[in-house]
Amino acid sequence: MTDQASAAPPLPLDARVSYLLSVLGTQSARSFANRLAPLGIQPNHFGLLVHLAHEDGQSQQQLANALGIHRNMMVGLIDELEERGLVERSRHPDDRRAHAIRLTTTARELLPRAHQLADQQEAELLAGFGDDDRASLLALLQRLASRGGGRPDVHPGMRHD
């Protein structure tokens, strides 16, 4: 039988890594969404556009698989980006039943500004940290993110787990 009086008191919230990560994640996501809003995109749009910038012309299914997103969610994201003039669908060269998704000139012009906003966000978040501290924090966060079962380069808000 455990004596409740001798048990260690529970950790305060600000001593719990998971709580602090949740708070920071919420603050960071809200801040990034606010930064991107004048560009007419959301963080999930940014993630998809960045992926297409590295490998343009993928099918919706290829994109869904690469990003770990349910295909229905992918269709909705692509619809939103197409309405904004940031992507276009065309027949996929390898599969007549599929569409190739390509960035438009508008998206290619928008991405450098979106990356600049992401860089500003990161600089503000990490202000006061030296290069070694930044590298250590990044390495620890990447380790934690990869243990979660998903890909650390895909935001959980985009995944369909």
How much is the pTM?
A: 0.82
In a domain, 115, yes or no: yes
**Residue 45, domain member (yes or no):** yes
Burial 2-36, CB ≥16 within 10 A → b, else e: eeeeeeeeeeeeeeeeeeeeeeeeeeeeeebeebb
Residue 149: per-residue pLDDT: 64
- In sequence order, the 6+-apart residues with CB closer than 8 A to the CB of 151 are 68
Q: How far is CA 79 from CA 17, 44, 64, 97, 136, in A?
A: 37, 13, 14, 18, 39
Q: Is residue 31 in some structural domain?
A: no
CA distance 44 to 25: 14
What total of structural domains would you count in the chain?
1
Quick check: 22 and 129 in contact, CB under 8 A? no
Residue ranges making up the domain that contains 122: 40-147
Residues in the chain: 161
User: Is 103 inside any structural domain?
Assistant: yes
* 161 residues of the chain, pLDDT tens digit each: 555 667 888 988 888 999 999 999 999 999 999 999 999 999 999 999 999 999 999 998 889 888 888 888 999 999 999 999 999 998 878 778 888 999 999 999 999 999 999 999 999 999 999 999 999 999 999 888 888 665 555 655 555 44
**CATH number assigned to the domain comprising residue 61:** 1.10.10.10
The pLDDT score that the predictor gives to residue 160 is: 46
**Predicted local confidence at residue 95, as pLDDT:** 79
Residue 124 tokens, joined: 């503000």
